Amino acid sequence: SMLPANIKYHALADAGYFIDAPNTSGQMHIRELYQYVFKMQNCSGGINQACIKSQPPGDEWKCFFAQYTYPHIVSPFFTFNSQIDTWQLGNILQLGCTPPNCNDQQMEKFEHFYEEFKQAEIPILDSKSNGGFLDSCLAHCQSLSDAAWIETQVNNQSARETFSYWYFGRSGERKVIDCAYPCNKSCK
């Protein structure tokens, strides 16, 4: 650790759980982009080194994606993310519409992406010490909004309550995972 042992800190990731998933054409567009950026910027020295060491030679770029690096994070960590993050729908999935204003084929791709995210979020669910609020709202960067902290509910619990249970070690759910879109009526 770079901090003295007597320093207590926690980290919060807001909408940064970007996944390695195909776009609507089945192409790994975001993977190719991340591979290029990783190599072009020589990122191996600035990425989680435990993740880098866990990858076979040539696959170190995977540590740019949350699902691959998350298991190697040792800092106390809270993930605040939509399982259908709007940035990812436009830039990873390249959906070309915003649900529910999509045709049947686009909605099928959207639902498949949601399932991909559910698989990619397994490291969050498996963590014994970290917290998380994973909703199904069409949103990105929710921590900037009071409404997202207070009014959005998952399992009758707000993000604020979930975070405080985790941060202060209080009894209560420290990790909540929403049902599939469009189930959550508290989304704004």
The predicted-structure confidence for 26-71, as pLDDT tens digits, reads as follows: 999 999 999 999 999 999 999 999 999 999 999 999 999 999 999 9
Whether the model clears a pTM of 0.75, i.e. scores above it, the answer is yes
Give the pairing of strands 153-154 and 157-158. antiparallel
Amino acid symbol at 127: S
| Region 148-168 average pLDDT | 97
Reported as a pLDDT band with limits 50, 70 and 90, residue 168 is very high
Alpha carbon distance 59, 96 (integer Å): 30
Residue 153 in this model has a pLDDT that exceeds 90: yes
Amino acid symbol at 63: C
Q: What is the mean pLDDT of the chain?
A: 95
pLDDT value at residue 142: 96
pLDDT value at residue 1: 61
What is the enclosing helix (H) or strand (E) of 105? helix 104-120
The predicted-structure confidence for 112-128, as pLDDT tens digits, reads as follows: 999 999 999 999 999 99
